[in-house]
Amino acid sequence: MTADRTPAPDVSIVVPIYNEVDNLPELVRRIGAAMHGQPFSFELLAVDDGSTDGSRARLRELAAATPWLRPVFLARNYGQSSALQAGFDRVRGRYVVTLDADLQNEPDDIPLLLNRLETDPDVDMVSGWRKDRQDAELSRKLPSRIANRLISSATGVHLHDYGCALKAYRRPIIDRIRLYGELHRFIPSLAKDAGARITEVPVRHHARTAGVSKYGIDRTFRVILDLILIVFFMRYRQRPLHAFGGLGLWLMTPGGLILMWLLLVKLTGHDIGGRPLLLVGVMLVLMGVQLIVAGLIGEMLTRVYYESGGTPQFHSQEYVAEEFEPNRPPAQQPPAPAATEIIV
């Protein structure tokens, strides 16, 4: 990655691209039309995720005539999360916007999200809500509604539409998160874990007019597995013993009670060697011990990770009070803060 000597823009727009050659000219045109009427300078990071339909050549042609377009070419198809992270690694703006390249998101809605960040200092991330979604009911909208409710309930980040790619962030939030695997679906949860304050605004949505959808019903099962990972990270990343050890104790307790009861039966002169309950009790105790040991190993790995300079244990921001101006009339003096505010 070469250093860019041009002045840093206000907004970096990141668009992952995979086999969208027919949509690219219109996408670039509409993003330019939406942003040129705004007071923000901007750049478009178009990340080609190993396209095989000529998208790379089309991006090179567009970049030659568009100074604010910065193509990024991945060596092969790594997936949407990796493509987004490749863009996040290269952003320079104080605001970061993401959207899909299929033109189902409306580029004219980008200023709406940016205006919310610009005018509301209590918001760090604005997520789009496809309130009037133009997709098939059974194959797309129904699974999406179920997934949204499941994710909201499990993570505590309540949004109507986790799947909407049109989102806007303050740059520090993007700098705090890393995407792996297929975690792009859970960016709001990752942002919340990084300290973001999130809001949601309705945005427009269009039916696809060119290209082929990359999503299918099979992703539902992958979402469930990724959700387990996200919940574990959000709740137990810094205390794995509470997760593994808690489950281990739940298994050991009935196992221990079973073995104690069988011991009393043995002491009264009855044979317990052929009872299936004996095997159940032993297995429960052994599984519980293994889980507790796994939790202890996780605790040691966590300490090594954080103490060796890994991801910070927390993110903080200090509130700096405005200086007192002695010549200003008392009625205009800013109120003194009761204490320094730390947002963690």
Percent of the chain whose predicted confidence (pLDDT) is above 70: 83
- 325 pLDDT tier (thresholds 50, 70, 90): very low
pLDDT of residue 114 exceeding 70:
yes
Q: What predicted TM-score, i.e. pTM, was given to this entire model?
A: 0.75
Q: What is the pLDDT of residue 231?
A: 83
Q: What is the DSSP string of 106-145?
A: -GGGHHHHHHHHHH-TT-SEEEEEETT--S-IIIIIHHHH
Q: What is the pLDDT of residue 48?
A: 95
Burial bucket for residue 339 (CB in 10 Å: 0-12, 13-18, 19+): exposed
Average pLDDT over residues 5-9: 80
Average pLDDT over residues 181-189: 87
pLDDT of residue 194 exceeding 90:
no
Q: What is the pLDDT of residue 5?
A: 62
Residue 188 to residue 185: CA distance in whole angstroms: 8
Average pLDDT over residues 230-256: 88
Residue 249 in tokens: 């104790």
pLDDT of residue 271 exceeding 90:
no
Residue 118 to residue 191: CA distance in whole angstroms: 18
Question: Could you tell me which residue, 215 or 239, shows the higher pLDDT?
Answer: 239
